[in-house]
């Protein structure tokens, strides 16, 4: 079975060069991600590693034809608890007060049968939304975690 390895996001020419420090600051401070400059495609891309223990990352590069995400296209980040999601939301809201380029979409909890999804969307200087969520289960309804990183 495949597992998520990476996603490449493309920005307009010059955008990464101009906003690298701001992108790095937001995603490292808010989510605890690690960033690395990498030479690729005759430029210095920005590798955003979501988990240093795995090979999961987002690669940001500049291209003449770049990504545009005007809709609800997103990448989901799953957290274990509502408290983690709420703390991240609070941090994003504080940053939005200081910088209106921090975009948020807020949602009511989605209750479906024995599950409740707590989520919000955030976007900052990258052309895709990040869906930050946890899934809560009624007692004895949670699926068994039988996956491991290899």
Provide mean pLDDT across the span 95-123. 97
* 60 and 76 inside one domain: no
- Is residue 149 a part of any domain in this protein? no
Residue 150: is its pLDDT beyond 80? Answer: no
Residue-wise pLDDT for 7-64, tens only, equals 999 999 999 999 999 999 999 999 999 999 999 989 999 999 988 788 899 999 999 9
Residue 149: is its pLDDT beyond 80? Answer: no
* 56 and 79 inside one domain: no
Provide the number of structural domains found in the chain: 2
- Is residue 91 a part of any domain in this protein? yes
Residue-wise pLDDT for 73-105, tens only, equals 999 999 999 999 999 999 999 999 999 999 999
Domain finish residue from 40, 66, 92:
66
Give the domain range for residue 95: 68-143
What's 28's domain CATH number?
3.10.180.10
Residue 148: is its pLDDT beyond 80? Answer: no
Question: Residue 117: its pLDDT value, please?
Answer: 97
* 80 and 20 inside one domain: no
CB-based contacts of 82, cutoff 8 Å, min separation 6: 118, 134, 136
Question: Residue 98: its pLDDT value, please?
Answer: 98
């Amino acid at each position: 079975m495949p597992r998520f390895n990476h996603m490449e996001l493309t920005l307009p020419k010059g955008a990464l060069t101009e906003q690298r420090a701001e992108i790095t600051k937001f995603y490292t401070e808010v989510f605890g991600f690690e960033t690395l400059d990498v030479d690729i495609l005759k430029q210095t891309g920005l590798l955003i590693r979501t988990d240093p223990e795995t090979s999961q990352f987002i690669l940001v590069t500049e291209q003449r034809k770049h990504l545009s995400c005007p809709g609800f296209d997103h990448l989901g980040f799953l957290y274990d608890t509502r408290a983690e999601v709420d703390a991240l939301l609070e941090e994003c809201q504080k940053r939005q007060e200081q910088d209106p380029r921090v975009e948020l979409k807020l949602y009511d909890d989605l209750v479906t049968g024995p599950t409740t999804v707590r989520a919000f969307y955030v976007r900052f200087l990258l052309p895709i939304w990040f869906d930050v969520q946890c899934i809560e289960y009624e007692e004895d309804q949670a699926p068994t975690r039988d996956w491991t990183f290899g």
